[in-house]
A = this chain, B = another copy of it.
């Protein structure tokens, strides 16, 4: 029997005890955003510190201006070292009367033949974090050691903005050194079909104000001669896309690579066509680049969206004003090697070129971050794919996420670290809502998956 098999057997044998421990953590009301649960947050952090110390980790709480961060280390000098990120805080439980069972009294239920673990945090993120810790425990039980060096960074403010995390990562830069980062709060593609998220889109976000006259004007007295900044801004917005759905900023597609054909082939097989994706939100026509699959449009292609726009009279009824100013919040999702600074410059030049000489334009630059992309042939990704396929009996999907996960950007920016996002949550887990659940199979096979992934990474 191999070390791997022994570890897997240890996990299976210890499942009941694993669940007991998970329930212990789920019972702690660690709602980070509500000051009334300050003690609950510390209690959860302490619980994790004790549990990790019992597994041989050098575990401690690192104080922040908010809730403490759990940092636990079991390095492997000369071997591969991973940095695992998760969070112990949970969402508020309102509306409480919609819970079928009290949110901090976890229990197992059976629904439509599936066993589920019910409770706040069952999926997001205590259940997911414990799949990793139970995998470490199984390795220790089976072999007395971990196949790779492991540092766990488990914060307590993910649900309230993670404001203290980036400065901590900066400060603890040396301690957090590793070869690859693992982040666990993502979903599987579907029940029984695991997924690895290997890319995240970047973002730049600009706020634009076009100013025309020095005051609001009466459209009867001035209409026809005075410039209307809402017309100017609408024309700018309209010009940002061509008829094929492509963004028209000069140089916008510089650094946008093509997804390898085998990955696109994989995506094609997922059945996420326009109808499947759009009909739940009441739409039917993909709005993006005409020659791209929906899954590309939302994952691997860059986009531009107006997130807010306003000007003039927006109350009830009719008022005949030509406003002095018009405003828009416009963001771009970035992929590949697109340069946020260059795109911000191109955007501002684009706007200025379309602003009449007697109008002015102001910009507020909000967020800016590059896209994250783990190369599809990176060893960590290839090994993880194999480990997941061995556990689940089907090849995992390698997907991108259309959104941004700030910690992944921080790991890249501060620590120079690529991140592999693997999680076992399902879309129907009701995270952030009443009756949050985590499938027992997600928990059981999630831990087994991590056991295999750690072995694979060590190989």
* Residue positions of A touching B, CB distance < 8 A: 201, 203, 205, 207, 212-215, 217-228, 230-231, 233-235, 237-241, 274, 277-278, 281-289, 294, 297-298, 301, 303, 305-314, 317-323, 326-329, 331, 333, 356-359, 366-367, 401-404
- Majority-rule SS of A interface residues: mixed
Contact check: which of B215, B234, B288, B358 meets A237 at CB < 8 Å?
Answer: B234
Contacts of A284 in B (CB 8 A): 357-358
Contact check: which of B214, B215, B313, B329 meets A313 at CB < 8 Å?
Answer: B329
Contacts of A225 in B (CB 8 A): 274, 277-278, 286-288, 294, 297-298
Contacts of A235 in B (CB 8 A): 234, 237-238
Contact check: which of B224, B281, B358, B402 meets A213 at CB < 8 Å?
Answer: B281
Instruction: Compute how far the CA of A106 lies from the CA of B357 in the bound complex, rounded to whole angstroms.
Output: 47
Using CB atoms, name the residue of chain B closest to A219: B305
Instruction: Compute how far the CA of A310 lies from the CA of B230 in the bound complex, rounded to whole angstroms.
Output: 10
Instruction: Compute how far the CA of A284 lies from the CA of B360 in the bound complex, rounded to whole angstroms.
Output: 12
B227 touches A238 (CB 8 A): no
B314 touches A310 (CB 8 A): yes
Contacts of A237 in B (CB 8 A): 230-231, 234-235, 238
Residue with the greatest number of chain B CB neighbours at <10 A, chosen from A203, A238, A356, A367: A238
Contacts of A222 in B (CB 8 A): 281, 298, 402
Contacts of A228 in B (CB 8 A): 287, 305-306
Contacts of A367 in B (CB 8 A): 318
Instruction: Compute how far the CA of A305 lies from the CA of B213 in the bound complex, rounded to whole angstroms.
Output: 14
In addition to A217-B281, A284-B357, A307-B322, 20 A-B residue pairs with Cβ atoms within 8 Å of each other are: A213-B282, A213-B283, A215-B281, A220-B402, A221-B403, A224-B301, A225-B278, A225-B298, A228-B287, A230-B237, A230-B306, A231-B238, A284-B358, A287-B356, A308-B311, A308-B313, A308-B319, A308-B321, A318-B331, A320-B403
Instruction: Compute how far the CA of A238 lies from the CA of B274 in the bound complex, rounded to whole angstroms.
Output: 28
B308 touches A366 (CB 8 A): no
Instruction: Compute how far the CA of A267 lies from the CA of B357 in the bound complex, rounded to whole angstroms.
Output: 27
A356 touches B281 (CB 8 A): no
Using CB atoms, name the residue of chain B closest to A287: B227
A-B contact pairs, 21 of them (CB 8 A): A203-B320, A214-B282, A219-B333, A224-B301, A224-B303, A224-B402, A225-B274, A225-B297, A226-B278, A230-B308, A230-B328, A231-B238, A231-B305, A231-B306, A234-B237, A307-B320, A308-B319, A309-B309, A310-B311, A313-B329, A318-B329
Contact check: which of B220, B358, B366 meets A317 at CB < 8 Å?
Answer: B366
Instruction: Compute how far the CA of A314 lies from the CA of B306 in the bound complex, rounded to whole angstroms.
Output: 11
B205 touches A318 (CB 8 A): yes
Instruction: Compute how far the CA of A278 lies from the CA of B227 in the bound complex, rounded to whole angstroms.
Output: 10
